[in-house]
Structure 1
Amino acid sequence: MFEETVSANLPKPAFYAELEHQARALLAGESNRVANAANFAALLYHTMPQLNWAGFYFLVDGELVVGPFQGKPARVRIAIGRGVCGTAAATRQTQLVPDVHAFADHIACDSASQSEIVIPLLTRAGELLGVLDLDSPVLARFDDEDRQGLEAVAKVLVESIDR
């Protein structure tokens, strides 16, 4: 059994360094995308405070299809360019949304969500695999330190499946 030991009381850079270490240990030796994404989503959901959804959408036949996640049921398919996830996929840039109600094309899955961050998952060759999506019931839950930390942690997942 894997036990998370990351303290949410650490300063953010230390928290994300420890989270990256935990993710590497959790995914070590496994390359299956579904298995690794499932464990990764659970690690984030149970380690990061103030989340109500943590999971993945993977690129399948030109659209994003929901993958492993923790939280309430989600939209199954998202067109590239639609919503926060589709925008992150289209631009290949992290989308940091302090207030989802101010995002013109936000796709609501959980009415409790107030803020969101979506990180595109890119292979070493620059191929889009999908996105990591985190939602919070707290306005402005995510900031630039979260963006930097989550981008680094997301690379751990990509490295585990991009061999």
Structure 2
Amino acid sequence: MLISSSYATTPIQAYKQSETKPQTVVDETPTRQGDKVTLSKPALDLAAQEKDREFSKSFAMEVASRNEQKAEDMLAAFTYGLNNPLIDISNLDMATGEGATYTATGQPVTDASEALFASQNESLIKRNEILITQEREKGTPAAKILEKVMQSIDQQPQSYKDKIDWSRLSS
């Protein structure tokens, strides 16, 4: 198991078991054709609002819009910098390599969950590289491309977004 993070934070501290959040195990198997979820009208209305919401009012976009170099730096960070999930290793047993959990969800880190994340991340990077190339050919400013990359991340499966602790920057 590779333990790494996209984010630099304060040094790791040891926590007692009682201080960690409870773990919730969620099955991450791919959905099958027979799986069906029915959403209420209010849920569908809320989802429609989220789908069309842009990041243009976020602080990140304001910074990117004011400075082309910052926009380029942010574009590179959002394209290539989210390639590692946030992992809590406060309960990691160094002898067995078990006990690590995803920071945002408390789900255990497994070989299967790491493989799923790697696959999702590789696919996202490839799509964003194509998007960036197409937009640069059109002459689109870096800030606008950044917004499209952020929207692309926002459209990823919830399991992926949870692992990188993605939250809407426009919220």
Bucket of the pairwise TM-score, normalised by the shorter protein: under 0.3
Greater radius of gyration (CA): 2
TM-score normalized by the length of structure 2: 0.24
- Which is strand-richer, 1 or 2? 1
More helix per residue: 2
With the length of structure 1 as denominator, give the TM-score of the two structures. Answer: 0.25
